[in-house]
Structure 1
Amino acid sequence: MSGYDEALARLPRTFTTRTAQANGISRTGLHRLKLAGAVVELSRGVYRNADAPESAHLDLLAVAHRVPRAVVCLISALALHELTDEVPVAAQFAVPRPRNLPVVGYPPVEFVRFDAETFDLGRGEFEAAPGEPVPVYDAARSVVDAMRLRHRVGEPVALRALRHYLTRRDARPGDLVSYARQLDVEGPVTKAVDVVLS
């Protein structure tokens, strides 16, 4: 493996087949590295250096590399922001409309289409592993998305997330209202905020 050690050292901790090839590691070389235990395959075409720090979010890293435009959303985002105890069966990612929904066999993932005009609204990053961010909607946008898609996440989950958010020190109710206005759900969100704060 020594022939690949230098090339492997140049790669990010998590990388795709294409990135490996651009750094001089062929598909055959990648297969040999995998067999030798130097890299782990997280998903088809996505690898992670076996020496990389551990992470509880390898599924998010894998999907973020498979579908770079996708953003962690809904319950997955609420969980990252510690606004729910729910654990989604599959990682939830948004992709912009009218894009076709990507197909990822593993890890389990659920893609949701969000409007292209507001797709980047509230988009931020979460460090899924040291120095390895994945795109995620911020806490306020995640709460508003849960409220507007409560038929999908469940109304109790959405309302609990709203309540948790509003009791946090860093809560910004104005952001909730602003996002709700831009996402065309201002009425229901404002009403829910009033109920929770009363």
Structure 2
Amino acid sequence: MAAVPPAAVTDALCTAVHRARAAAPDLRWSAPDRWHVTLAFLGPVPDERRGDLDARLARVARRHGPIAVETVGGGHFGDRVLWTAVRPGSAAVRPGALVALAAGVRRAVERAGAAAGADDRPLRAHLTLARVPDRGHRALGPLVELLRADVEPLPWTVDRLVLMRSIDSGPGAAPVYREQASWPLTGR
């Protein structure tokens, strides 16, 4: 389950990360059409569970309204993943709105029997920009500094939940993500 930034944001972000990409061509850079905020991980969903899952996700979407966010700066997870942050984009946004949305999605997924195992980690909203190749290690600090200098706030609105399917592309290749369904956030 994901929140997907609009094309205008991914286009601007492509420009903003240019220096970091040029400084680290050895990383596996994610294609912009793969950028998304993961709200929950799903396991395989049997056909007989799909209707229940869809109904639960539709209820979550009706309980949450659109959320103003912004993509900004950069960070890393260990020495393997480089990302840009997604944070509340306005003082008018209810604190924790994106976290509450993710919690609702996770509950719906678990109750539908579609969770990919227990996921108690707090939401760290981000877009994964690059990964260090398998078995590699790299000091990502200098790249984070470039991202912090170059990725100025890019505002956007999380206005729908997106069910993504990850399709294995073979050894060493990045998976392909396909949108399976989406639900507009229509609550207040």
TM-score by length of 2: 0.22
- Higher strand fraction (1 or 2): 2
Larger Rg: 1
- Higher helix fraction (1 or 2): 1
TM-score by length of 1: 0.21
Higher relative contact order (CA 8 A, sep 6+): 2
